[in-house]
Amino acid sequence: MKDLLIVGLGGFLGSALRYGAYLLTARFYIDKPFVGTLVVNLLGCLVIGLLSGSLIRLNNQAALFLIAGVCGGFTTFSTFALDGLKMLKAGMIGQFILYASVSMVGGLILCLIGFYLANKA
């Protein structure tokens, strides 16, 4: 239960940071709202790489708070990138290609289905 609270608090912080980054980028790119998402995704990938790499040694609770919580709340794309990196480092090239393809294409298709279903009613 304690670990769940730690992740939840980190997730709150990450979500608030994501919204703040969106507001900041929206001031400069009013006609391109996707820029905020791009910035958040790329920044999240850098941060999760730094946290999970050799630059920072974390205990379990700090890792839960920062990686699962803050990075997870900031952007799940960072977790997607880290999982992909782990697959590539393990030589799982085929699995990575399948994982990335299904994530991107499947995600877009399911988003389209959800959008269609929501507007059908």
pLDDT, residue 54, reads 65
**Which class for 72: exposed (0-12), middle (13-18), buried (19 or more C-beta within 10 A)?**
buried
Q: Which tens digit of pLDDT belongs to each residue from 5-59? A: 999 999 999 999 999 998 898 888 888 878 888 889 899 999 998 888 866 677 8
The answer to pTM > 0.85 is no
Taking the C-alpha atoms of residue 20 and residue 24, their distance in angstroms, rounded to an integer, is 6
Average per-residue pLDDT in the chain?
Answer: 90
Question: Where is 6: in which H helix or E strand?
Answer: helix 2-28
Torsion of CA 70, 49, 19, 32, to 10 degrees: -170
Question: In a 3-state reduction of DSSP, which class is residue 59?
Answer: coil
Q: Where do the domains of the chain lie?
A: 2-75
Question: In a 3-state reduction of DSSP, which class is residue 70?
Answer: helix
